[in-house]
């Protein structure tokens, strides 16, 4: 997790944060009128970008996704939930690049069966991590039931990430590599992923935390009267809050172990 903070000393990385934030916001804002949950979320083809940002630009992509989402919120959905939206969109890009490196994948050259399958898996897990954190926070605030928001965000993020994100990364990788803008070519060697057993364990903890937090949270929420893809049931379910909170903390612990 060191690179998340140390990246700010690199001018190129700071520029990439601004570029990612601007592109993400620019693609989010035109679709603000196509609302899924008023004041919370909308149709988001821009969800294809965070995984691409994360794999290409690492922590700069994660910060860019978080800031870009916050900028987008100023155009129709700004509120208390925006705090959780900031962190959730950070995780949307953070989880994919951490898992990509922790399991021995190097540069994001998504060619070949193995790399494509890994891309799809981390796209799903990144989408789930984003959904888990945002749904946890918004349910805790009593705004929208966990089951509704968790299921909607997961679907809303996963489909564009795979359908649009895959061709985007294939198209952009060689160009970004040629321009020396891959994050692994910019930061110091001490900030790069080192791999190894501890890193893989951290990756497994991250995956287990995402799956436990979201799936167990949904099961508990459904048992408490909430419904998936529906506003039925009461928000602010404390058992859901505990489960989703444990999952969210586990993501951060797993990320910190991935040197």
Q: What is the block-wise mean pLDDT of the chain (259 residues), using blocks of 10 residues? A: 90 97 91 53 78 97 96 82 94 96 88 94 97 95 91 93 95 95 91 82 96 96 88 85 96 88
Quote the pLDDT of residue 45: 82
pLDDT in the model for residue 151: 93
Q: What integer pLDDT is reported at residue 26 of this predicted model?
A: 93
DSSP state of 127: H
Q: Report angle CA 197, 198, 199 to the nearest 5 degrees.
A: 90
Per-residue pLDDT at 68: 96
pLDDT score of 248 = 96
Can you give the pLDDT at residue 257?
86
CA pair distance 31, 11, nearest whole angstrom: 32
Which run of H or E residues covers position 254? helix 238-257
- Rounded to whole angstroms, how far apart are CA atoms 100 and 116? 11
Among 152, 153, 142, which Cα is nearest to 233's?
Answer: 142
**What does 165-224 look like in DSSP terms, one character per residue?**
HHHHHHHHHHHHHHTT--GGGTS-GGGS---SHHHHHHHHHHHHHHHIIIIIHHHHHHHT
Q: Phi/psi zone of residue 248: left (φ > 0), alpha (ψ -120 to 50 degrees), beta?
A: alpha
Domain ranges of the chain: 2-257
What is the rounded distance in angstroms from the CA atom of residue 185 to the CA atom of residue 176? 11
Task: Provide the CB-side half-sphere exposure for 69 (13 A, CA).
Answer: 32
Residue with tokens 């287990």: 208
pTM of the full predicted structure? 0.93
**pLDDT for the residue numbered 197:** 85
> Per-residue b/e over 193-220, b at no fewer than 16 CB within 10 Å?
bebeeebbebbebbbebbebbbebbbeb
């Amino acid at each position: 997790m060191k690179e998340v903070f140390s990246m700010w000393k690199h001018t190129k990385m700071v520029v990439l944060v601004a570029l990612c934030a601007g592109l993400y916001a620019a693609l989010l804002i035109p679709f603000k009128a196509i609302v899924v949950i008023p004041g919370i979320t909308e149709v988001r083809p821009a969800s294809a970008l965070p995984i691409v940002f994360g794999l290409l630009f690492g922590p700069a992509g994660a910060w860019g996704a978080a800031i870009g989402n916050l900028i987008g919120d100023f155009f129709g959905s700004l509120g208390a939930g925006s705090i959780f939206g900031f962190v959730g969109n950070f995780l949307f890009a953070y989880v994919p690049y951490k898992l990509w490196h922790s399991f021995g994948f190097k540069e994001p050259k998504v060619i070949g069966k193995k790399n494509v399958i890994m891309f799809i898996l981390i796209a799903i897990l990144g989408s789930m991590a984003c959904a888990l954190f945002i749904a946890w926070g918004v349910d805790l605030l009593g705004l929208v039931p966990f089951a509704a928001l968790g299921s909607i965000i997961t679907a809303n993020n996963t489909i564009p990430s795979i359908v649009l994100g895959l061709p985007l990364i294939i198209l952009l990788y060689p160009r970004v590599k040629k321009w020396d803008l891959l994050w692994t070519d910019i930061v110091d060697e001490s900030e790069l992923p080192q791999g190894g057993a501890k890193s893989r364990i951290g990756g497994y903890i991250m995956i287990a935390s995402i799956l436990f937090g979201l799936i167990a949270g949904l099961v508990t929420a459904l048992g408490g009267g909430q419904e998936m893809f529906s506003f039925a049931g009461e928000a602010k379910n404390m058992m859901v809050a505990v489960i989703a909170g444990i999952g969210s903390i586990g993501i951060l612990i797993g990320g910190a172990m991935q040197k």
